[in-house]
Structure 1
Amino acid sequence: MHPFRKAVENRDEAAIEALLAENVVFTSPVAFNPYQGRAITAAILRGVMRVFEDFTYVREIANPDGRDHALVFTATVDGRQIQGCDFLHFDGEGKIDDFTVMVRPLSAAKALAEAMGAQFDRIAAEAAEAAEAEVGA
């Protein structure tokens, strides 16, 4: 089992964040522009853990060199079943530097967009706090 999958399935926020490169780019299934940086990506992933119910990875697909992984998942959002895939690319140090999520069907993607929209003030505040802590460290 891949360490990222293990961290997510254990809901280990610290382990998830530790696997993110400082310059990670996160491409959301419901936002047009990607998000850049570990602080915002970690905050988004914490938000996702708050809105997804019954989250389960059902398949793991890996490139032979280990730098690309696709993790297929199912979950429920606001009573709607969602199927999706996390596409992860790892840098030379084994950190996730590119993270793209795709989901289906459209009705579930809309429910996800609404649920994450309701979380966004909290996500932005968490990311700002984490970024300030990094600067101060």
Structure 2
Amino acid sequence: MHPFRKAVEERDEAAIQALLADSVVFTSPVAFKPYVGKAITAAILRGVLRTFEDFRYVREIDGSDGRDHALVFETGIVGAPGVKITGCDFLHFDDDGLIDDFMVMVRPLSGATALSEAMGAQFERIQQEAVELAGKFATAT
């Protein structure tokens, strides 16, 4: 099992964060502009853990060079009964084995819309958590 998959399935926020490069670029399925940096990406992923319910990875796809990995998932959205999402986490790893590019795609449109609304409702909290995490990361180095 891939270490990122294991961390997500165990809802281990520290392990998820430890797998992110400081300059990771996170491309959301519902935002136009990518987010850059470990703190904001970790905070977004914390928000996702709060938003998804009955989350499970259903397939892993490895790139031939070992630096690309795709994890296909299925999930529901808290507070959106009956909405089901199929998605994929596309991960690229740097020379140190850390995720430096993280893109998520989801379908169908109704699921993406529900996800956008759920994440938007907590984005102020996500931004605050990113500020707090950035402070922790800065003092840890």
Partner of 2:72: 72
1:37-93 superposed Cα distances (whole Å, 9 cap, x missing partner): 000000000000000000000000001221000100000011200000000000010
How high is the TM-score relative to the length of structure 2? 0.95
Residue of 105, 123, 127 corresponding to 1:124:
127
Structure 2 unmatched runs, 5+? none
Runs of 4+ in 1 over 4 A off after TM superposition: none
SS of aligned partner of 1:131: helix
Question: What is the percentage of aligned positions where both structures have the same residue?
Answer: 72
Partner of 2:44: 44
1:11-46 superposed Cα distances (whole Å, 9 cap, x missing partner): 000000000000000000000000000000000000
- Distance in 2 (CA, whole Å) between partners of 1:131 and 1:7 is 21
Q: Which amino acid aligns with 1:6?
A: K
- Distance in 2 (CA, whole Å) between partners of 1:29 and 1:134 is 26
How high is the TM-score relative to the length of structure 1? 0.98
- Distance in 1 (CA, whole Å) between partners of 2:99 and 2:5 is 12
- Distance in 1 (CA, whole Å) between partners of 2:95 and 2:41 is 19
1:119 Cα deviation from its structure 2 partner: 1.1
Residue of 121, 125, 137 corresponding to 1:134:
137
The alignment's C-alpha RMSD in Å is 0.8
Q: Which amino acid aligns with 1:117?
A: G
Equivalenced residues, count = 137
- Distance in 2 (CA, whole Å) between partners of 1:42 and 1:135 is 14
1:136 Cα deviation from its structure 2 partner: 3.4
